[in-house]
Amino acid sequence: MKSFDVVQVRKDFPILQEKVNGKPLIYFDNGASSQKPQRVIDRVSAYYEHEHSNVHRGVHFLSNQATLAYEAARARIAAFLNASSPQEIIFTKGTTDAINTVAFSFGETMHPGDEILITGMEHHSNIVPWQMLCERRGCILKVLPVLENGTLDISKLDHLLSEKTKLVSVVHVSNSLGTVNPVKEIIVKAHGMGAKVLLDAAQSVQHLPVDVQNLDCDFLAFGGHKIFAPTGIGVLYGKKELMESLPPYQGGGDMIEHVTFEKTTYNTLPLKFEAGTPNICGVLALAEAIDYLSSIDPLGAFRHEKELGSYLRDSMREIPKIRFIGEAPDTCSTLSFLIGDLHPFDVGTLLDQQGIAVRTGHHCTQPLMEQFKIPGTVRASLAFYNTREEIDEFVKALQRSIQILS
């Protein structure tokens, strides 16, 4: 492992050399999807050029090789999360698919009157599946509120938790606000009431170390495309004993042990939850992305990114009429803001004309936007390949945009 060097790291990402509207690309939309290093791109090509075959089903050479690579990737991802076994790693289409898997499978154990607790800063993918479960099973959805500074109102947690609470599902890092939530404290309190806990780690695994055994979460979900891998691949971590007790989410090939017209018995973990031909290439590319992250000094990358987030906030504070949406004491490098009465879409459009990619809108957190009584925000979300120089250019472009719109 080499020490983190942002100048060298940027050379690993071909797209960062592109121009947009004649300007060098400044990519500040990492919260939506991250860019891919060359070795991940090469891994995709190599698989389809030299290795492609279906897994778990063939006796021929290519199938055996693909199976070995696929299961080795599972083991590497388990090590990345410090799972106790590769059997606890289930491959999904992404974070949303992983959460829906829990909502169905764990949901089958729930009864009318059982309660699910989420928070007021959840992404829609950690709201809608639980609403659907409540409609299906007669359960009750409760919400831990968000304070004005963008932190959770933890003082309400003891009141909302009860013996009726069967599941707490909480975002680790807010995709809208950048708030890093005190999930370990939440997990301890939830377990004290007998509830299970799911962490939405879509915005955390790429920004800070995540150790599922240390956190003691029961489930954890994340998507590959936000951690420098392709779209269409994700991970559901689930404690082995718990996952073994749950029914599968989907039926089909690979998740079965034996099928007759009268009865089907299911495969062992993790295949029990992986019906059908999987995204083999996506799994291999995700493992490659994690290996890449390990190779560049991840703790150094995380520190660099944390410093960038602070520098971004400090650089923007002097802009007239700036309003940060959420100012939690513990944040990652994501910043949502408004400027006076300027519409976020207009600001984002003018930034794009200057080669800068940001996200505008409600960021799939409409209830949170409604709480702040705003239609949406401009969101700048950074990754370890961003630089202070890019932030300086961003601030200048923002000031030019304000002059045009004012």
Q: Are residues 392 and 302 in the same domain?
A: yes
pLDDT value, residue 337: 98
Total residue length of the chain: 406
Task: Provide the 8-state DSSP code for 48.
Answer: I
Q: Are residues 274 and 157 in the same domain?
A: yes
pLDDT value, residue 154: 98
Q: Hunting for tokens 């491959």 — which residue is that?
A: 91
Q: Which of 253, 271, 294 is the last residue of a domain?
A: 294
Q: Are residues 216 and 78 in the same domain?
A: yes
Q: Do 132 and 103 form a contact (C-beta atoms < 8 A)?
A: yes
Tell me which residue of 363, 324, 377 sits closest to 122, measured CA to CA.
363
Cα gap 58→67, rounded to integer Å: 9
Q: Is residue 104 part of a domain?
A: yes
pLDDT value, residue 48: 97
Q: Do 34 and 334 form a contact (C-beta atoms < 8 A)?
A: no
Pairing type for strands 256-259 and 264-266 reads antiparallel
Tell me which residue of 84, 67, 137 sits closest to 106, measured CA to CA.
137
Helix, strand or coil, per DSSP, at residue 6: helix
For residue 201, CA distances in Å to 34, 171, 239 come to 15, 6, 16
DSSP string, 145-198: -B-TTS-B-GGGHHHH--TTEEEEEEESB-TTT-BB--HHHHHHHHHHTT-EEE
Cα gap 309→375, rounded to integer Å: 24
Task: Provide the 8-state DSSP code for 270.
Answer: T
In order along its 406 residues, the chain shows pLDDT tens digits of 578 999 999 999 999 999 999 999 999 999 999 999 999 999 999 999 999 999 997 789 999 999 999 999 999 999 999 999 999 999 999 999 999 999 999 999 999 999 999 999 999 999 999 999 999 999 999 999 999 999 999 999 999 999 999 999 999 999 999 999 999 999 999 999 999 999 999 999 999 999 999 999 999 999 999 999 999 999 999 999 999 999 999 999 899 999 999 999 999 999 999 999 999 999 999 999 999 999 999 999 999 999 999 999 999 998 999 999 999 999 999 999 999 999 999 999 999 999 999 999 999 999 999 999 999 999 999 999 999 999 999 999 999 999 999 8
Q: Which of 272, 294, 316 is the last residue of a domain?
A: 294
Give the tokens for residue 50: 């030299």
Cα gap 228→220, rounded to integer Å: 18
Task: Provide the 8-state DSSP code for 207.
Answer: T
pLDDT value, residue 80: 98
Q: Are residues 71 and 166 in the same domain?
A: yes
Distance of CA 276 to the CA centre of its chain: 24
Choosing from 134, 217, 281, 364, the catalytic residue is 364
Q: Are residues 276 and 321 in the same domain?
A: no
Cα gap 16→28, rounded to integer Å: 11
Q: Are residues 113 and 148 in the same domain?
A: yes
Q: Are residues 286 and 302 in the same domain?
A: no
Residue 344's CATH number:
3.90.1150.10
Q: Is residue 1 part of a domain?
A: no
Q: Do 336 and 324 form a contact (C-beta atoms < 8 A)?
A: yes
Q: Is residue 397 part of a domain?
A: yes
Residue 226's CATH number:
3.40.640.10
Max Cα–Cα distance, the chain, nearest Å: 72
Give the tokens for residue 330: 């513990």
Helix, strand or coil, per DSSP, at residue 221: strand
Q: Is residue 134 part of a domain?
A: yes
Q: Are residues 393 and 270 in the same domain?
A: no
Contacts 24+ apart (CB under 8 A), 72-77: 72/287, 73/283, 73/284, 73/286, 73/287, 74/270, 74/283, 76/287, 76/290, 76/291, 77/235, 77/286, 77/287, 77/290
pLDDT value, residue 117: 98
Q: Mark whether 364 is an active-site residue.
A: yes
- Quote the number of domains for the chain: 2
pLDDT value, residue 1: 59
Q: Are residues 181 and 313 in the same domain?
A: no
Give the tokens for residue 185: 């404290």
> Which residue range forms the structural domain that includes residue 335?
6-30+297-405
Q: Is residue 83 part of a domain?
A: yes
Q: Which of 294, 309, 344 is the last residue of a domain?
A: 294
Integer-rounded Cα radius of gyration of the chain: 22
Cα gap 127→119, rounded to integer Å: 9
Q: Are residues 303 and 290 in the same domain?
A: no
Give the bridge partners for 144, in sequence order.
119
Q: Are residues 127 and 72 in the same domain?
A: yes
Give the bridge partners for 180, in sequence order.
173
Q: Are residues 24 and 168 in the same domain?
A: no
Q: Is residue 329 part of a domain?
A: yes
